[in-house]
C-alpha cells in the first residue's frame, strides 16, 4: 500500500510503498483510513523543521488528523467493532514509571518529553491506506459525523483549552454568566474556537489578518459572531470599539499578537495560547504594565498543547452541536479534498481553510 513519508536526512517528501500492517495483540484494531487533515504542523515537518522517524527508520509517514474505519478487531477489543468510525489520538505515553500524567492516561501533560506522536515524533502517521492501533488510543465517532469528523483532532486543541479555562474560572466566587470571547486567528483552529465560543453562548469576536470580505470573515459572520480584520483594526482600536474580553483563545503563533493579547483581557480574564511562534521571534511589550495587569487584575495566561481522551469526547459532542447550530458553516471549514498523490502539492500550495486528503470512501 502507498503512504506519504518524509525522509529528514535526505530532505525529501515522497510517496512510498509500505507493507500492510496486521493485528499484533488482542487490543489491536486494523483500520482503513478514510480521511486525513493537513495542517501547519505537516507543512513544518515536510519542510524538515521538525518531525522524527520511528526508531531504526529513515522515514516518517505523515498525517496526524485522522478519520478511519475499523476493519478487524483483536479478541479483547470492546469499544469498537468492524464498520465503526474512529479517530486516533496523536500522542502516546512515555515509558517512564515516574511520569504520573502518562501513567494516568494523560500523556498530553507528559513531564519527561519522551512521548511519541503519530505522524510527528517517533511514530508513523495516518497518510496511508491501513493502520493498526491499540484500542486505548482510538475514539469512536458517530456515523452522523462522518463528513466532518476529520476535524475532531484539530478541535481537541480548542476543547482542551476551553476545559482548562473553565477550571480556572471555577475559582471565581460568582457565576460568570454570559461572557465575551475573542478568537485570535481565522485558520481552522481559530474558526473552530469561534464555533465553540458561540455554541457556549459567548458574545464572540474573531480577529485575524484576513480581509473583511474574505471567506473566513463570511464564515465567522455566518455563526452570528463578529469579525475584525487586522488590516483595518489594531488590537487597541478593537478594544476601544468593542470592549475587552473574559476569554481569549489564541491560534496564530505570531509573537507580537500573543503578547498584545494580554492587554485585551477583562479583570479576572483568561488567555489561552495555542499557537507556536518561531523560537527567534521577539515582541515589544510594556512589560511593567503587562505584569502589573496580571497581578492587579487577577489575569491568567496559559499555554496548551495536545489533548487527552476527554478532550476528544468533548470535540465529538461539540461537532454534533455545530451540525445542529450551523451545519453549513462547519462543513465550509473543509475547503479542499485531494488524493494521496496530491499531498506534496497540497502542502506547498495551501488553498482555502482546511485541506483534507481523501483516502477511501466506505460503502
Ligand atoms: Zn494538525
Ligand atoms: Zn510521560
The pLDDT tens digits for 42-68 are 999 999 988 999 999 999 999 999 999
Q: Find the mean pLDDT for residues 229-244.
A: 93
For the stretch 197-211, pLDDT in tens is: 999 999 999 999 999
Ligand number nearest to the C-alpha of 107: 2
DSSP reduced 3-state for 338: strand
Separation of CA 38 and ligand 1 centre (Å): 6
**CA distances, 206 to each of 184, 188, 192 (Å):** 6, 12, 11
Alpha carbon of 177 to ligand 1 centroid (Å): 32
pTM: 0.96
Ligand at minimal distance from the CA of 152 is 1
Ligand nearest to the CA of 111: 2
Query: Assign residue 347 a region: left if phi > 0, alpha if psi is -120 to 50, beta otherwise?
Result: alpha
pLDDT tens track for 122-136:
999 999 999 999 999
Distance 239 CA to ligand 1 centre (A): 30
What ligand has the least distance to the C-alpha of 110? 2
Cα angle at 112 between 107 and 115, to 5 degrees? 45
* Per-residue pLDDT, 362: 52
Report pLDDT for 360.
82
Sheet holding 180-184, edge to edge: 226-229, 203-208, 180-184, 245-250, 265-273, 300-303
Q: What is the mean pLDDT of the chain?
A: 96
- Identify the nearest ligand to the CA of 36 by its number: 1
Q: How far is the CA of 11 from the centre of ligand 2 (A)?
A: 30
Q: What is the distance in A from the centroid of ligand 2 to the CA of 305?
A: 14
Residue pLDDT, tens place only, 27-46: 999 999 999 999 999 999 99
Give the ligand at the shortest distance from the Cα of 118.
1
How many helices, marked H, and strands, marked E, lie in the chain? 11, 19
Instruction: Please tell me the distance between residue 54's alpha carbon and the centre of ligand 2 in angstroms.
Output: 17
Task: Reply yes or no on whether the pLDDT at 103 is more than 80.
Answer: yes
Ligand 2 centroid from CA 53, angstroms: 19
Q: Which ligand is nearest to the CA of 63?
A: 1
d(CA 295, CA 299): 7
Is residue 363 scored above 80 in pLDDT? Answer: no
**Cα→Cα distances 110→43, 154, 167, 276, 340, Å:** 25, 19, 19, 18, 32
Question: Region 246-255: what's the mean pLDDT?
Answer: 96
211, 180 Cβ separation under 8 angstroms: no
**Ligand with smallest separation from the Cα of 42:** 1
- Predicted confidence at residue 361, as pLDDT, reads 67
Question: Is 196:183 a contact under the CB 8 Å cutoff?
Answer: no
Which helix or strand (DSSP H or E) is residue 288 part of?
A: helix 287-296
Q: Is 239:216 a contact under the CB 8 Å cutoff?
A: no
Amino acid at each position: 500500500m502507498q503512504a506519504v513519508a518524509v525522509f529528514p536526512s535526505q530532505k525529501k517528501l515522497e510517496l512510498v510503498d509500505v507493507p500492510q500492517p496486521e493485528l499484533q495483540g488482542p487490543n489491536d484494531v486494523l483500520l482503513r483510513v478514510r480521511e486525513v487533515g493537513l495542517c501547519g504542523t505537516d507543512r513544518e515537518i515536510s519542510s524538515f523543521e521538525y518531525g522524527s522517524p520511528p526508531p531504526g527508520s529513515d522515514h516518517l509517514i505523515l498525517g496526524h488528523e485522522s478519520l478511519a474505519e475499523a476493519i478487524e478487531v483483536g479478541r479483547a477489543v470492546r469499544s469498537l467493532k468492524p464498520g465503526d468510525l474512529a479517530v486516533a489520538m496523536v500522542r502516546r505515553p512515555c515509558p517512564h514509571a515516574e511520569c504520573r500524567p502518562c501513567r494516568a492516561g494523560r500523556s498530553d501533560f507528559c513531564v519527561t518529553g519522551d512521548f511519541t506522536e503519530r505522524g510527528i515524533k517517533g511514530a508513523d502517521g495516518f497518510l496511508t491506506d491501513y493502520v493498526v492501533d491499540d484500542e486505548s488510543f482510538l475514539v469512536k465517532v458517530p456515523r452522523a459525523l462522518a463528513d466532518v469528523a476529520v476535524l475532531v483532532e484539530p478541535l481537541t486543541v480548542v476543547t482542551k483549552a476551553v476545559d482548562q479555562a473553565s477550571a480556572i474560572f471555577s475559582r471565581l466566587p460568582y457565576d460568570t454568566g454570559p461572557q465575551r470571547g475573542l478568537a485570535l486567528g481565522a485558520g481552522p483552529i481559530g474558526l473552530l474556537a469561534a464555533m465553540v465560543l458561540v455554541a457556549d453562548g459567548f458574545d464572540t469576536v474573531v480577529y485575524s489578518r484576513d480581509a473583511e470580505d474574505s471567506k473566513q470573515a463570511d464564515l465567522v459572520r455566518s455563526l452570528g459572531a463578529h469579525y475584525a480584520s487586522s488590516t483595518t483594526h489594531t488590537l487597541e482600536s478593537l478594544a476601544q470599539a468593542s470592549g475587552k474580553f473574559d476569554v481569549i483563545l489564541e491560534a496564530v503563533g505570531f509573537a507580537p499578537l500573543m503578547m498584545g493579547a494580554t492587554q485585551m483581557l477583562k479583570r479576572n480574564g483568561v488567555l489561552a495560547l495555542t499557537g507556536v511562534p518561531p523560537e527567534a521571534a521577539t515582541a515589544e511589550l510594556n512589560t511593567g504594565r503587562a505584569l502589573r495587569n496580571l497581578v492587579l487584575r487577577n489575569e491568567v495566561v496559559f499555554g496548551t498543547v495536545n489533548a487527552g481522551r476527554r478532550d476528544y469526547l468533548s470535540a465529538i459532542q461539540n461537532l454534533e452541536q455545530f451540525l445542529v447550530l450551523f451545519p453549513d458553516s462547519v462543513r465550509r471549514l473543509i475547503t479542499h479534498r485531494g488524493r494521496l498523490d496530491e499531498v506534496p502539492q497540497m502542502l506547498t500550495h495551501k488553498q482555502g481553510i482546511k485541506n483534507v486528503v481523501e483516502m477511501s470512501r466506505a460503502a
